[in-house]
Each structure stands twice: as C-alpha cells, then as structure tokens.
Amino acid sequence: MSLEQILQRIEQDPFARFLGIELLELCEGYSKTTLVVKDHMLNFHGLPHGGVIFSLADAAFAAACNSYGQVAVALHVDISFLDAVEVGTRLVAEAAEEHLGGRTGLYRLAVTREDGALVALAHGTAYRKKQLLLQDDET
C-alpha cells in the first residue's frame, strides 16, 4: 500500500472533517494538521474548547502513528494547554515519532499558532495492531 492510499484513508475521518481539520503533511512517523478556530468551538469563557485543541492534536497523532499502514490506536495521551487563542486563529498540530518499538510508539504532539507560538503540548502512546489499515480489496 502506498503513502497516498494511506493519506486518502486518513482524510476520510468523519469527526476531523466535521471540525474542519485538514491534513497538511504525512510521512512515516510524522504528520501536520490544521484548523481555524470558529465561534462554535468556544466554551462558556469565550475561549476555544480544550476538546477542539485536543482533537486537532489527536488527528495529527492518529495520522502519524497510522502512517506505516498498520492499524494503530491510542493507549494514552496527556496534554498541557499553554495559551489561549481567539476566533479566526489558524492552529497547526505536528505529531512526530520519538520512539518506535515492536508494538508501541511514542509521539510528541505540538499545537501552535500559525506563527509558531506554542498553544498546547502533548505526548501520545500508540499501540499497533496486527491488521493493516487498508484491506486487500482497498489496495
């Protein structure tokens, strides 16, 4: 299976599409996603809901750990929210593999403003299942 086929599969994520998350880059062990903060993403303080920021980081994490074509799922993710942003801000999340073991991988997830200012930082641990991301009839 090619990286292009994997990319097409990942881009079909209905929740990411619902939030307006775009996958900008994908290679083995790395991905970059983006979204623009909208009014409907705010919490009762008028700030972007932490779940939106987490979802952007999680989408990058999912893409990076599934980039090898093997099904990978999250075992654990921890996140620190470091700064708030306003409506209209374009956020960028990068997921970079820090360690790849036999069945697990560790990823650094950074969410920044478009100018590179850090908004949130997370680490995620993924578990690789035995099944492939694309079945034989999909390749």
Predicted pLDDT of residue 1: 78
Predicted pLDDT of residue 48: 95
DSSP letter (8 states) at residue 48: B
Q: Tell me the two tokens of residue 86.
A: 């306003």
Predicted pLDDT of residue 135: 73
Where residue 2 falls among pLDDT bands split at 50, 70, 90?
confident
How does pLDDT run across 21-47, given as a tens digit for each residue? 999 999 999 999 999 999 999 999 999
In the chain, how many domains are there?
1
Q: Tell me the two tokens of residue 50.
A: 């932490």
Beta strands per DSSP E along 7-138: 22-27, 30-36, 70-81, 90-100, 104-113, 118-132
Q: For a pLDDT cut of 70, what percent of the chain falls above it?
A: 97
Predicted pLDDT of residue 137: 54
Cβ proximity of 32 and 93 under 8 Å: yes
| Closest to 54 (Cα-Cα) out of 22, 79, 90, 23 | 79
Cβ proximity of 6 and 26 under 8 Å: yes
How does pLDDT run across 123-137, given as a tens digit for each residue? 999 999 999 988 755
CATH code of the domain covering residue 25: 3.10.129.10
Average pLDDT over residues 102-109: 96
User: 58 lies in which domain range?
Assistant: 3-138
Strands 104-113 and 30-36, by their bridges, are unpaired
**What is the separation of C-alpha 125 from the centre of its chain, rounded to a whole number of angstroms?**
13
Where residue 138 falls among pLDDT bands split at 50, 70, 90?
low
